[in-house]
Amino acid sequence: MTGLSGGMAGLSDSTQIFIVLGLTLAAFVWGRFRYDLVAVSALLVSVVLGLVPADDAFMGFGHPAVITVAAVLVLSKGFERSGLVDVIAEQALKVGSQLTLQLLVLTGVVMVLSAVMNNVGALALLLPVALRMAREHNISPSILLMPLAFASLLGGLMTLIGTPPNIIIASFRATQTGEAFGMFSFFPVGAVVGIAGLAFIILLGWRLVPQRASKASTEAMFETSEYLVELRVDEDSKANGWSLRELRQALEEPMPILGVIRDDKRRPGHAFMGALQEGDILLMEVGPDEMKLLADKAGLKLGRRDEEEAGAVDSADKGKSATKADNGNDDKQASKQDKNKQDKNKVDTEGLQLIEAVIRNDSVMVNRTVGQLRLHNQHGLHLVAVARDGVRLKQRLRDIRFQPGDVLLLQGDEGDIAESLSALDCLPLASRDLTIGQPRLLLMSIGIFALAIVAMLLDFMSSAVALSAAAVVSLLIGVLPLRDAYKAIDGPIIVLLAAMLPVGQALESSGGAAMVAEWMLTLGSQWPPVVTLVALFGITMMLSDVINNAAAAVLMAPIAVSLASGFDVSMDPFLMVVAISASCAFLTPIGHQSNTLVMGPGGYRFGDYWRMGLPLELLVLAVSIPMILWVWPL
Q: How many CB atoms lie within 10 A of CB 608?
A: 21
Q: Are 274 and 240 in contact (CB under 8 A)?
A: no
Q: What is the distance between the alpha carbons of residues 319 and 314, in angstroms, rounded to a whole number?
A: 9
Q: Where are the domains of the chain?
A: 65-83+440-488, 228-342, 354-428
Q: What is the distance between the alpha carbons of residues 3 and 59, in angstroms, rounded to a whole number?
A: 26
- DSSP letter at 367 equals T
Q: What is the CATH number of domain 228-342?
A: 3.30.70.1450
**Nearest of 631, 496, 623, 630 to residue 193 by alpha carbon:** 623
Residue type, 525: S
| 415 to 25, 258, 261, 420, 480: CA distances (angstroms) | 43, 17, 22, 10, 19
Handedness of CA 504, 506, 508, 513 (dihedral sign): negative
**Nearest of 62, 26, 186 to residue 501 by alpha carbon:** 62
Q: What is the distance between the alpha carbons of residues 387 and 405, in angstroms, rounded to a whole number?
A: 9
Q: What is the distance between the alpha carbons of residues 625 and 481, in angstroms, rounded to a whole number?
A: 43
Q: What is the distance between the alpha carbons of residues 553 and 583, in angstroms, rounded to a whole number?
A: 9
Q: How many CB atoms lie within 10 A of CB 447?
A: 12
pLDDT at 574: 94
Low-confidence stretches of the chain (pLDDT < 50) are 214-217, 224-227, 304-351, 431-437
Same fold, 228-342 and 354-428: yes
Instruction: Give the burial class of 374: count Cβ atoms within 10 A of its Cβ; 0-12 exposed, 13-18 middle, 19 or more buried.
Output: exposed
Residues with Cβ within 8 Å of residue 309, at least 6 apart in sequence: 340, 343, 344
**Nearest of 515, 621, 499, 589 to residue 551 by alpha carbon:** 499
Residue type, 228: L
pLDDT at 2: 53
pLDDT at 334: 46
Q: What is the distance between the alpha carbons of residues 215 and 141, in angstroms, rounded to a whole number?
A: 10
Q: What is the CA radius of gyration of the chain?
A: 28
Q: What is the CATH number of domain 354-428?
A: 3.30.70.1450
Q: What is the distance between the alpha carbons of residues 24 and 43, in angstroms, rounded to a whole number?
A: 10
pLDDT at 356: 81
Virtual torsion, Cα 108, 110, 113, 117, nearest 10 deg: -150
pLDDT at 216: 37
Terminal-to-terminal C-alpha distance of the chain: 45
SS3 category, 560: helix
- DSSP letter at 276 equals -
| Residue 247 half-sphere exposure toward CB, CA atoms < 13 A | 29
